[in-house]
Structure 1
Amino acid sequence: MQVVDYLSENAGQEFVASLRETGFGVLRNHPIKQELVESIYQNWQQFFLAGNKEDFAFDPEKQDGFFSSEISETAKGHKQKDIKEYYHIYPWGRIPEELKTEILHYYQLASELAKELLNWVEQYSPAEVAKLYSEPLSNMIMDTPNTLLRVLHYPPLSGDEEMGAIRAAAHEDINLLTILPAANEPGLQVQLKSGEWQDVPSDFGNLIINIGDMLQEASGGYFPSTSHRVINPEGSDASKSRISLPLFLHPRSEVKLSERHTQHSYLLERLRELGVKV
């Protein structure tokens, strides 16, 4: 998996080649400032450790707000729930007032970068793949209310976790692309074509991007949505929290992904499989 310099002349081509090969691309020297990410990690860590997070319990219909570890996701094909809690950020959703300005600034910056990355993907798609897109990829997310920023908290391990449970079991993302600043602790792994698991280069300051199922669907399978997971830390690292900040790029609900699916029909199908929507 190649770490691509965002400022290099061939950045787009190298980035898309990495996506095609592994489902993941890693950028350095990108526009999102590390100081902003660090500040968000620190501020949201305090939120998850505070006692009032249940005041923002998620809305089952809108899917915004706080998801406790008791109701967090069970990855498709797994029986144990992931060891995590998280908060869903949408610009129209509920956000703690003291955290709102900073997190929405990040949401906007990452969404702007996302348009450029989707343009790269389209530019370096073969002609027979590009003609499958119902509209330009970057246009699919224009004015979308559906792009989701998830603030994830993996709490310290206590030692009495359910047998077989890990921080995030192997799964694929649902959306077009996921944009993820390297977390404050390692653990993210991607499954290679050989079946082996490889650590994703997660030096603090890297930006990690991976393909979701919707881009795989829209590209007729050309861009692979690759399985990834977050493994449990060992030794002294087990006592550390891990904060993660994935932005899941979702098209507008009516966008046609393929002959079979719009964004809305695809998302509904997957949320029901995950058990977070009835």
Structure 2
Amino acid sequence: MKLEAVDYQSPTAAKDFVESLRQTGFGVLKNHPISQERVSDIYKHWEAFFNSNEKEDYLYNKGTQDGFFPKRVSEVAKGFKKKDIKEYYHYYPWGQCPDHLKAEIHAYYESTLELASELLNWIEQESPDDVSKHYREPLSNMIKNSEQTLLRILHYPPLQGDEEPDAIRAAAHEDINLITILPSANEPGLQVKLKDGSWLDVPCDFGNLIVNIGDMLQEASGHHFPSTTHRVVNPEGSDTSRARISLPLFLHPRPDVVLSDNYTAESYLQERLRELGVV
């Protein structure tokens, strides 16, 4: 099986994209409106930030979760004991951000948020009637005026050879939110787990846009759309000397959104954050 990139400008783009999400939990788009040059500039500028001491001036706020998360507090994926080999920055429009990086990252946030609304409309329009009935409101409306949508700038530093045994850049996990939008990273490593338990490399051609289903959309769709397990594996050989930057935008509903009879977006998020040990 292979994940094929869907042409965003194709007349069958919505159908092909949503079918990929349904079958694998992932969709890959090419010829989309997100500027490749802007993404490249963001990677360059934030790699410089992560390689500087300035990052320590923006340590995360525990209550609001905005700011810099160093390796020493990196996430432990659900079901794992070893911390991921990564550091990252949480950008929210209302949160802390270095002045010299804010305009660029905010412009990216806004343009990707606009695309996300369109993709959520695609998912809704391509959902069968017996699935659509589960949506308590239009999917794109769930993220409107949400202050929870998170842009995470991830930095996987070069491997030093002294990493904990079995620790990898991002252990197998599922995302919490509705959907995640991710431009291809500057280095490969992202893999998705298939139904038969095997791992498939997600196409990392620079310029592709990767979208995956999160737990909240799985819950809201009555499990029609699978929140697929994925991971970032460690590089090998000479590639270990290269850092990896990625830029996932996690589309979160407003806290009051009802996902199902069991959860609101707020109750679901807090349950998962407690499991991850970050609150």
**Same fold per superposition (TM over 0.5):** yes
Task: Give, in whole Å, the separation in 1 of the partners of 2:140 and 2:265.
Answer: 14
Note the 1:88-237 alignment, pairs <5 A: 88-237=90-239
Question: C-alpha displacement at 1:159, in angstroms?
Answer: 0.3
Amino acid at match of 2:23: E
Note the 1:36-115 alignment, pairs <5 A: 36-115=38-117
Amino acid at match of 1:42: K
Amino acid at match of 1:172: E
Amino acid at match of 2:95: G
Question: C-alpha displacement at 1:72, in angstroms?
Answer: 1.1
Q: Across the two proteins, how many residue pairs are aligned to each other? A: 277
Amino acid at match of 2:46: W
Question: C-alpha displacement at 1:52, in angstroms?
Answer: 1.6
Output one character per residue of 1:78-110: Cα deviation in whole Å (capped at 9) or x when no partner: 000000000000000000000000000000000
Instruction: Give the aligned partner of residue 241 of structure 1.
Output: 243
Question: C-alpha displacement at 1:264, in angstroms?
Answer: 0.4
Amino acid at match of 1:241: A
Output one character per residue of 1:181-232: Cα deviation in whole Å (capped at 9) or x when no partner: 0000000000000100000011000000000000000000000000000000
Amino acid at match of 1:242: R
What secondary structure sits across from 1:79 in the alignment? coil
Structure 2: which 5+ runs fail to align?
A: none
Instruction: Give the aligned partner of residue 268 of structure 2.
Output: 266
Runs of 4+ in structure 1 off by over 3 angstroms are: none
C-alpha RMSD over aligned residues: 0.4
Note the 1:14-53 alignment, pairs <5 A: 14-53=16-55
Task: Give, in whole Å, the separation in 2 of the partners of 1:164 and 1:9.
Answer: 45
Task: Give, in whole Å, the separation in 1 of the partners of 2:106 and 2:5.
Answer: 27
Amino acid at match of 1:117: L
Question: C-alpha displacement at 1:2, in angstroms?
Answer: 2.3
Amino acid at match of 1:16: V
Q: Percent identity?
A: 67
Task: Give, in whole Å, the separation in 2 of the partners of 1:52 and 1:115.
Answer: 34
Output one character per residue of 1:6-48: Cα deviation in whole Å (capped at 9) or x when no partner: 0000000000000000000000000001000000000000000
Task: Give, in whole Å, the separation in 1 of the partners of 2:116 and 2:4.
Answer: 19
What secondary structure sits across from 1:184 in the alignment? coil
What secondary structure sits across from 1:87 in the alignment? strand
What secondary structure sits across from 1:52 in the alignment? helix
Output one character per residue of 1:132-167: Cα deviation in whole Å (capped at 9) or x when no partner: 101000000001100000000000000000000000
Structure 1: which 5+ runs fail to align?
A: none
Query: Please, which of 6, 9, 17 is the counterpart of residue 7 of structure 1?
Result: 9
TM-score (norm 1): 0.99
Output one character per residue of 1:46-74: Cα deviation in whole Å (capped at 9) or x when no partner: 00001121110000000000000000100
Task: Give, in whole Å, the separation in 1 of the partners of 2:167 and 2:277.
Answer: 17
Output one character per residue of 1:161-185: Cα deviation in whole Å (capped at 9) or x when no partner: 0000000000000000000000000
